[in-house]
Amino acid sequence: MKDQFVVPARLKTTSFVLMGIGLLTLLIGIFAFHGEHGSTRFWAGLLQNSSFFALIILASTFFIGATTLAHGGWQIGFRRVPEAISMALPVLGGILFIVVMLIVFGGKEHIYHWVNAEHVKHDPILTWKSAFLNKGTFTGFMIVTISLWIFFTIKLRNMSIQEDGWDLTAATGRRIIWRNTVWCGAFIVIYALSVASTTPWLLLMSIDAHWYSTMYSWYTFASTWVSGIALIILFVAYLKRNGYLPMVNEEHLHDLGKFAFAFSIFWTYLWFSQYMLIWYANMPEETVYFKPRVWGEWRPIFFLNLIINFITPLLYLMKRDTKRNYSSMVFISIVILAGHWMDFWQMVGPGTYEHLVFPWYEAGLAVGFVGLIIFLVSNQLTKAPLVPKNHPYLKESIVHHT
């Protein structure tokens, strides 16, 4: 039984090549996009990618939290995978923090209009919002939320590794369940107050600072959550293909597939709830968000978004066989990840550089982030056995049957 992951040389090379492509794109971006207006796309691309990838990494912590609180047993067999993915958060969260700080304090007013104090003075709406939407609050929220995410991620991971060293008795079993439940409960509260509310307001919604939508945070959360599940599926399938995770079989894959299916529909539900209310009320201060997206240059992306993120997973994952096949799940996971990356692109693009362009720069950065995630996660996977052998629900996971 292969229990200890060893990073294959090929995977390491791949991750370095991908990271190299990302860095190269970044360098080209510095020269291609400069000047006051020109640099907008440079920063918008960084903001889009760093927030998307940090949040899908964080979705793994949320996966651990949610399944633990629900007393799920089925995920224990591969629980170390989301744990390892979530441990990329310190780096990804750090990158996100640096990027937004450079945007805010570098005065990139074409990304966030509200960072220009002179502009805010002459803008009644922004003046009204400035009690919340200002540099101090933004920085404070970012520091507090990102450090809390990292703290809880590391805490959950350390607890899980520490439990491997315990003797398995009824008392330690109860203790494992109890303390995991408590810490996960605390994390879910933090997560709900950040990712499901404030974080998307500050990171992405404040690009269109005049506009607001109460669905926006949930919609962003759903996007990152379903992508996070797709990422977990990719790593599980990779490990399985290389002969690891002997206890994981198509039953577990089937359940992950159900998650991807259900939350693709959930994303559509939230997307539609936001769209329909604005469409129905037809108030200018609200429709301004959808004008460039539905009736402007971004129209094809708007519909492509729905096709990739709703129609495709809906029809593809509806059948039982596709959810129980590793190749088909890898395919749809890549589609979902690409689709929601595109969703973030159309959240950021129209409000910043406005014109629909071929996203070579954004995609290049995304490739770099993918390489970074592969590098960090594969490193983390080697640091602990792939099966948490003392977890009381391990047997439930082994005999799991959907």
Contacts of 153 (CB under 8 A, 6+ apart): 58, 61, 86, 87, 89, 90
Show contacts with another protein in window 109-168 (CB under 8 A): none
Binding flag, residue 170, another protein (CB under 8 A): no
Among 9, 35, 136, 401, binds another protein (CB under 8 A): 401
Binding flag, residue 299, another protein (CB under 8 A): no
**Smallest separation (angstroms) from another protein to the CB of 307:** 15
Q: How far apart are CA 136 and CA 306, in angstroms?
A: 37
Sole window of 2-10, 53-61, 239-247, 275-283 interacting with another protein (rule: CB under 8 A): 275-283
**Smallest separation (angstroms) from another protein to the CB of 319:** 8
Among 10, 122, 165, 280, binds another protein (CB under 8 A): 280
Binding flag, residue 320, another protein (CB under 8 A): yes
**Residue 289 or 369 having the CB closest to another protein:** 289
**Smallest separation (angstroms) from another protein to the CB of 401:** 4
Binding flag, residue 279, another protein (CB under 8 A): yes
**Smallest separation (angstroms) from another protein to the CB of 383:** 35
Radius of gyration of the chain from its Cα atoms, rounded to whole angstroms: 21
**Residue 122 or 401 having the CB closest to another protein:** 401
Size of the site for another protein (CB under 8 A): 9
Show contacts with another protein in window 30-89 (CB under 8 A): none
Chain position carrying tokens 């507090």? 144
Other beta carbons within 10 Å of 109: 17
Among 30, 143, 171, 318, binds another protein (CB under 8 A): 318
Show contacts with another protein in window 253-272 (CB under 8 A): 272
**Residue 157 or 254 having the CB closest to another protein:** 254
**Smallest separation (angstroms) from another protein to the CB of 402:** 9
**Smallest separation (angstroms) from another protein to the CB of 248:** 18
Among 78, 263, 275, 344, binds another protein (CB under 8 A): 275
Binding flag, residue 295, another protein (CB under 8 A): no
Can you give the binding site for another protein, defined by CB under 8 A? Answer: 272, 275-276, 279-280, 282, 318, 320, 401
